[in-house]
Structure 1
Amino acid sequence: MKVLLVEDEVKLGEYIKKGLTEAGFIVDHHLTGLDGYHALMTDEFSVVLMDVMLPDVSGFELVRNYRAAGNNTPVLFLTAKDDLSDRIKGIEIGGDDYLTKPFAFAELIVRIKSLLRRANQADYKSSVMHMADLKMDIAKRTVHRGDTAIKLTAKEFALLQFFLERQGEVLPRSVIASQVWDINFDSDTNVIDVAIRRLRIKIDDGFDIKLIHTVRGMGYKLDALDTSTDTSISISGDDLK
């Protein structure tokens, strides 16, 4: 899951990003409100961590405009101000939670998981996704094909979730690298191909309907009806670790 962190305190931002990355999140960190707002409006995130007192524009104002544009991604405000009036204002303008600095990292993780759980409960369809006999339950972190349970690594789970969210679309390697690995794609690396090959072995091998397809020269897609594209991948080098 991808988290947007807008925090101008460099050391605190690096600390939060490191901890969340180790917890399995992809973190996009910005130091200014304007950079954070640009990311908000041009990318997709599971949750937003927004500092209130930014050097260029208030986090409150950014979230107010974000909500006015019709966006409902959960927002957790981070601030050194603990006045009741500020907490009320943060909720009234569209924030979902409010955490006062300094805070324990364990509490931040709990707050984020709570926001994600509430978001899934509000829209159950976003928590459980299907294609043919493939079922992924994001909240329970389970994957099945029919009655067969499939065990995936954290990265394989994130990759399959991305495919399901964009099912039927041809996804270039550069997009997959950015959204799942949070890296710029290097055409000389086979990281993406190796990861998809491993996922395909678990998802497709032994099943009549093949779901993961290679579109030559373009990328990959998840499609239960597609039988015209090549499903082979040439792998060289060491396996992905």
Structure 2
Amino acid sequence: MKVLVIEDNESVCSMLDMFFEKENFSGKFIHNGLEGYQHFLINEYDLIILDWMLPGMDGITVCRKIREVNKEIPIIMLTAKDSESDQVLGLEMGADDYVTKPFSPLALTARMKAVARRFHKTDEDESQETSVVTVKKETREVFILNKRIPNLTPKEFDLLTFFVQHPKQVFSREQILEQVWGFQFYGDDRTVDVHIKRLRRKIGRDNQPFFHTIWGVGYKFDETVVFNED
């Protein structure tokens, strides 16, 4: 796996480089946001690890600009900012996962592998369809009653695809993390809540949220139940 790491903390980079070598990853480390973005434009990578606070150009801006030219490459935000509002902002700009410092290198590499697997599946020619929602894996497009839904992030697409494949089934946040993100639960399930809220806003119509909260358990996807959510 070729990984671009845009991170200004050289100690973090040295630690990651050591773990990358064990995993047989090829890592390129750049310590300036603007330089990292410019390097990305002329090189190809399988995954990007992006720090939030960077000289030259902050990580949020770098993430947004990368998404303007490439909507598919997985991006993991690596940052000391851990509030829900910060996480929402990172995901809004196109990040697929969010890892807070201090972090476990083993946990990070596990997430990297999981994200890479999600983006390099071999069954992209399949489609999923319900009475309302059509998910086209080959083109990674979503249609609600034949109307295309624009601007879904890669992880939002994966999450919706998973629920469309399992209508009316209730899943805990931990199960969703394992099935969609591909890693075991590490203690912060807010990323699931954030993605569900965003999908509700993007694909919901009238009073139909599709994603329903099952209090004390998790979420389910149901096109037939209509009720007001929080």
TM-score, normalising length from structure 1? 0.50
What is aligned with 1:132?
none
What is aligned with 2:115?
115
- The correspondence of residues 142-221 of structure 1 with structure 2, limited to 5 A, is none
1:123 is displaced (CA, Å) by: 6.4
Letter aligned with residue 36 of structure 2: G
What is aligned with 1:194?
none
Q: Deviations over 1:68-110 (max 9, x none)?
A: 1234210000000101001111111100000000001110011
In our comparison, the structure showing a higher alpha carbon Rg is: 1
Letter aligned with residue 103 of structure 2: F
1:124 is displaced (CA, Å) by: 4.0
What is aligned with 2:77?
77
Q: Secondary structure at the match of 1:22?
A: helix
Q: Secondary structure at the match of 2:85?
A: helix
Q: Secondary structure at the match of 1:54?
A: coil
State whether residues 52 and 79 of structure 2, in contact with CA within 8 Å, keep that contact through their aligned partners in structure 1.
yes
Identity of aligned residues (%): 34
Runs (5+) with no aligned partner, structure 1: 126-241
When structure 1 is superposed on structure 2, of 54-63 and 72-81 the one drifting more is: 54-63
What is aligned with 1:30?
30
> How many residues matched?
125
Q: Secondary structure at the match of 1:109?
A: helix
Structure 1 consecutive aligned stretches of length 4 or more whose deviation exceeds 6 Å: none
What is aligned with 1:43?
43
Q: Deviations over 1:154-207 (max 9, x none)?
A: xxxxxxxxxxxxxxxxxxxxxxxxxxxxxxxxxxxxxxxxxxxxxxxxxxxxxx
State whether residues 63 and 93 of structure 2, in contact with CA within 8 Å, keep that contact through their aligned partners in structure 1.
yes
Cα RMSD over matched residues? Answer: 1.5
What is aligned with 1:54?
54
Letter aligned with residue 45 of structure 1: Y
Counterpart CA distance in 1 for 2:106 and 2:7 is: 18
Runs (5+) with no aligned partner, structure 2: 126-230
